[in-house]
Structures are given as structure tokens and as C-alpha cells.
Amino acid sequence: MTKCNEKFTHNLIKEHEKKLKEKQPLQQQVTTSRTIKKINSQTMPDTTNIINMCKVQLGQQHLKVLSKELKFVLTPGAISTVTTILNCEQALYSTPTLIKNATTPEISPFIQKWKKPKKCNMNKEEMKMLNEIKSIEDIVIVQVDKSEKIVIMNKIEEKN
């Protein structure tokens, strides 16, 4: 290995260790916020951010699922190796080759170590409610610009 590569590798390891040390206090804060979120999730959800302008009346359970906002992402059940590698390569397209060479070997071990999460972030009842909402073809659910509000409207109204 050349001196340049050794120096780069050494600096990369140092930066990585430094970031890990910085994240340790943050990790403790995250676990505290998770506990608070767990307590808050057991109480009644806030559905004030949902505006229903359609003829279909959704139940409280449906509104509870929608109150998680449209940015909500389910925990993945599986990871696609090919898709992940392609996405990483596309993301690294405009980066310098030195950085590409440093990050590319880390992708494959990450994918191999990845394990399916033990718990899904939605229970079966919420999944059922979400599928029921998706099956209603007469409505459209959109997020209001520059706001956290979610609007449920008829498809005909959306076109106008």
C-alpha cells in the first residue's frame, strides 16, 4: 500500500472513530425520546391535522393511521441487494473516485449484516386500516403545501 493510501485510510478511521464518540451522547437522547414516543403512542392520537372534505366518512381507526403523516415509512421486510448497490452507485456518481473507492467496499458487508427488524412499526390492525384506505378508489389523500395538514378529498374535486 502506498503512503498516500495509508494516510487516507488512517484519516478515514480517525474520522469514523470521532463521529462514533460524538454520536454516543446522541444515542442516549434517542433512547429517551423513543420512550417518550412509546408513552405518547399509547394515548389517543392527534387527528387535528386531518381535514376530511370527501363524502366518505372514515372511522377513528382510519384517522389514527393517517395521523402518522404521509412521510411515514413502514419497516422493510426484506432488502434487495441489487437495488441497494445500484442506488449507492447512482448516489456516488458525481463524487470523486477516491471517496467512491473508500465507500464501495463497505456496501456489500452492510447488506450481508442487515437483519430483518423483529418488530414492524405498524401492527396488524393498522395495516388492515391502511389497506382499507388504499382500497377506496373515490378519494385522494394529499398533504397541504407548507403545512402538516392532510386533506382527504373526492377524486372529482381534486381535478377541479
Q: What is the mean pLDDT of the chain?
A: 77
Residue 149: all three cell numbers together: 395538514
Q: Which residue has the cell 480517525?
A: 14
Distance CA 139, CA 50 (A): 14
Q: Indicate the domain borders of the chain.
A: 1-43, 44-76+120-160, 79-115
Nearest to 66 by CA among 51, 85, 80, 83: 51
Confidence of residue 11 (pLDDT cuts 50, 70, 90): confident
Nearest to 67 by CA among 21, 153, 129, 159: 129
**CA angle (113 as vertex; 108, 118 as ends), nearest 5:** 140
pLDDT at residue number 81: 82
